[in-house]
Amino acid sequence: MRPVPPLSRAFLLFTCTVICGSQVALAQAPTLSVNVTASRHPISQEIYGIANYGLDANFAKEIQVPNIRWGGDGTTRYNWQVDSSNAGFDWYFMGGNGETTPVPSASADLMIKTYKPADALITIPIIPYVNKLAAWNCSFPVSVYGAQQSTNPYVHPNGDNCGNSIATNGTQLIDNNIYANHIDNTASLQQQWVQHLVSTFGTAANGGVKFYQLDNEPYGWSNTHRDVMPNGATYPTITQLGQQYAAAVKQADSTAMVLGPSDFTLGGWIGNTSQQGGVFAGQYYLQQMAAYDKAHGQRILDYFDEHYYFDTSTPAKQLASTRTLWDSTYNGGTWVEQYDFNGPMQLIPRFRSWISTNYPGTLLSLSEYSIDSGQKSIVDAIAEMDVLGIFGREPLDFANM
């Protein structure tokens, strides 16, 4: 018999408590057994990872979370030297943290320390610009760009109002002074950050930061980070940046594991095939990383990593959507299934096929996923349990809820 992993035990206990109620004490305990001779395989403990936002540190230790992610839109323009970023379109293009004497990497360092012994997954910015200042700032102050559809009601740098980049007539405004609040991002800058993390926590092989991912949803820069990247970036550019920054990470810590491209559900996997040799973005990315390996004799990508959000529009669709991970007979009705894949998603087998064809030996990750409806219902718990079971069976190598 193989023991149930800690996080699975937590979900099982919660679900049984809700469904069984007081009858738990009266009924005979169920018998759980696993036939380890029936073509089974080890389950990676890394599939039970969680993003750190709002996660209670004591609870994380209680359920023995194996890895914690420092990621999301807010990390794309993080400048470790001033310990601050820019929220982009998510929140009025606000930059800074309001500190007069920022401590380099303080926020990331605190996250790593708080959740130890869980391994950290740290996002390395590869976008061409990162935040410049610790002082509060924004990309579209009303004093410069005029009235806008919405402004930040809470923070007013130098008494100004910070807008959402859309004029009252609906026109998308253009940031005409990027360097007022940003500096050029460089591989050297990010390599120095990894060196700082190594000097603070040790190498990955010696208890330090084990995982690094190459930015967050780069094919969506033209939306979230439209002030500095109004035209976004093609996948050839994203891949070239990924190679450059991944090599910098490996140079600073050769024992660390690198994940990429960490792009968003559906569109980020596909890209623009006319710019990618007629293949999807994920396939192109793997091809180019394999080419780098062949040319330089070095693997700089350890995990092919993407993001995935399930359909939670109704409880029925929420429960059925877990089948998009594997079922060759289930079509979830998304446009990518209808127009790109020409059939069921079969996400994990599909991604594994991409890997085996284009860069064998690469592991598979979903560093950001959610099947949570936001209703805190028993359906959420059951759906999450199903997802974790599928991750173990298919198998997946790494995941963050």
Same domain, 199 and 144: no
Same domain, 294 and 149: no
Same domain, 349 and 389: yes
149 inside domain: yes
372 inside domain: yes
Q: How far apart are the first and last CA of the chain?
A: 27
Same domain, 250 and 325: yes
Same domain, 149 and 279: no
22 inside domain: no
* Contact indicator for 215, 248 with CB cutoff of 8 Å: no
Express the helix, strand and coil content of the chain in percent, nearest 5 each.
Answer: 40, 15, 40
| Pairing mode, strands 303-309 and 363-370 | parallel
What tokens does 106 get?
């303080």
* pTM metric for this prediction: 0.90
Same domain, 157 and 186: no
Same domain, 100 and 57: yes
359 inside domain: yes
| Cβ neighbours, 10 Å, residue 199 | 10
3 inside domain: no
Greatest C-alpha distance within the chain: 70
Same domain, 125 and 206: yes
Same domain, 185 and 165: no
- C-alpha span between 387 and 384 (Å, rounded): 5
* Residue 63: CATH number of its domain: 3.20.20.80
Same domain, 166 and 306: no
CA 96 to chain centre: 22
271 inside domain: yes
How many domains are there within the chain?
2
357 inside domain: yes
Same domain, 152 and 267: no
Residue-number span of the structural domain to which 192 is assigned: 46-129+180-399
User: Which residue bears the tokens 């030996």?
Assistant: 361
Per-residue pLDDT of the chain (401 residues; tens, 9 = 90+): 444 444 454 444 444 444 444 444 456 788 888 787 777 789 999 999 999 888 999 999 999 999 999 999 999 999 999 999 999 999 999 999 999 999 999 999 999 999 999 999 999 999 999 999 999 999 999 999 999 999 999 999 999 999 999 999 999 999 999 999 999 999 999 999 999 999 999 999 999 999 999 999 999 999 999 999 999 999 999 999 999 999 999 999 999 999 999 999 999 999 999 999 999 999 999 999 999 999 999 999 999 999 999 999 999 999 999 999 999 999 999 999 999 999 999 999 999 999 999 999 999 999 999 999 999 999 999 999 999 999 999 999 999 99
Residue 162, classed as helix, strand or coil, is strand
251 inside domain: yes
Same domain, 393 and 322: yes
| Cβ neighbours, 10 Å, residue 361 | 10
Residues 331-339: contacts with CB within 8 Å, 24+ apart? 334/266, 335/266, 336/266, 336/267, 336/269, 336/270
User: Which residue bears the tokens 């990390």?
Assistant: 75
